[in-house]
């Protein structure tokens, strides 16, 4: 008998931030979101640990979630999280997850991807641009 393919969850949010708090009502407070990385030198590391907020919709039963930090120049994986089991019995209620990630390795200036996988299927990516500290561009957004 052929095993039926599982429908992947819908990634509704993938946000990197300096801090994520949960207040007494259970709401998430996301502080210092970013998509640019600044290093004092290359090779180097993002100087502090960060957080990632993930909001998944249409989770059916149990899934295995994994995060990867990839250098997009050569698609090399620089950081890979342990696999995390997420389970919900109500696919209409989104699952929200806040995970602390270690300082990210930055071998050189360039474009990186922070990827989210569900059951080994890529469901979303955030692109991150790494530059030397002091060389940041002025952004009014």
**Residue 89: what pLDDT?**
84
Instruction: Give the three-state DSSP class for 131.
Output: strand
What ranges do the domains of the chain cover?
Answer: 10-132
Q: Which CATH number fits domain 10-132: 1.20.120.160, 3.40.190.10, 3.90.1150.10, 2.60.40.10?
A: 2.60.40.10
pLDDT at 2: 52
Tokens of 140: 């009014």
pLDDT, position 6 = 76
pLDDT tens digits, residue range 23-82? 999 999 999 999 999 888 999 988 778 999 999 999 989 999 999 999 999 999 999 999
| pLDDT score of 106 more than 60 | yes
Nearest in space to 110 (alpha carbons), one of 15, 34, 39: 39
Looking at every residue in the chain, the average pLDDT score rounds to: 91
Task: Please give the pLDDT value at position 112.
Answer: 98
List the end-to-end C-alpha distance of the chain, in Å, as a whole number.
Answer: 54
Tokens encoding 135:
């060389």
Strand ranges across the sheet with 95-101: 28-33, 10-22, 50-57, 95-101
Q: What is the pLDDT of residue 18?
A: 95
Sequence-distant (≥ 6) Cβ neighbours of residue 70 within 8 angstroms: 76, 77, 78, 112, 113, 114, 115
Q: DSSP states of 56-85 as a string?
A: EES--EEEEEEEEEEETTTTEEEEEPPPEE
108-132 pLDDT tens trace: 999 999 999 999 999 999 999 999 9
């Amino acid at each position: 008998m052929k095993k039926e393919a599982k429908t992947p969850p819908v990634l509704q949010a993938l946000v990197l931030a300096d801090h994520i708090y949960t207040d007494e009502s259970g709401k998430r407070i996301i502080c210092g979101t970013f998509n640019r990385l600044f290093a004092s030198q290359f090779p180097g590391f993002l100087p502090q640990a960060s957080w990632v907020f993930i909001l998944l919709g249409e989770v059916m039963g149990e899934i295995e979630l994994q995060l990867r930090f990839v250098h997009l120049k050569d698609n090399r994986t620089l950081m890979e999280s342990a696999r995390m089991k997420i389970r919900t019995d109500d696919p209409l209620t989104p699952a929200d997850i806040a995970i602390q990630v270690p300082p990210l390795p930055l071998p050189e200036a360039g474009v990186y991807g922070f990827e989210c996988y569900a059951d080994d299927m890529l469901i979303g990516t955030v692109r991150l641009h790494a530059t030397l500290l002091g060389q940041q561009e002025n952004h009014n957004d």
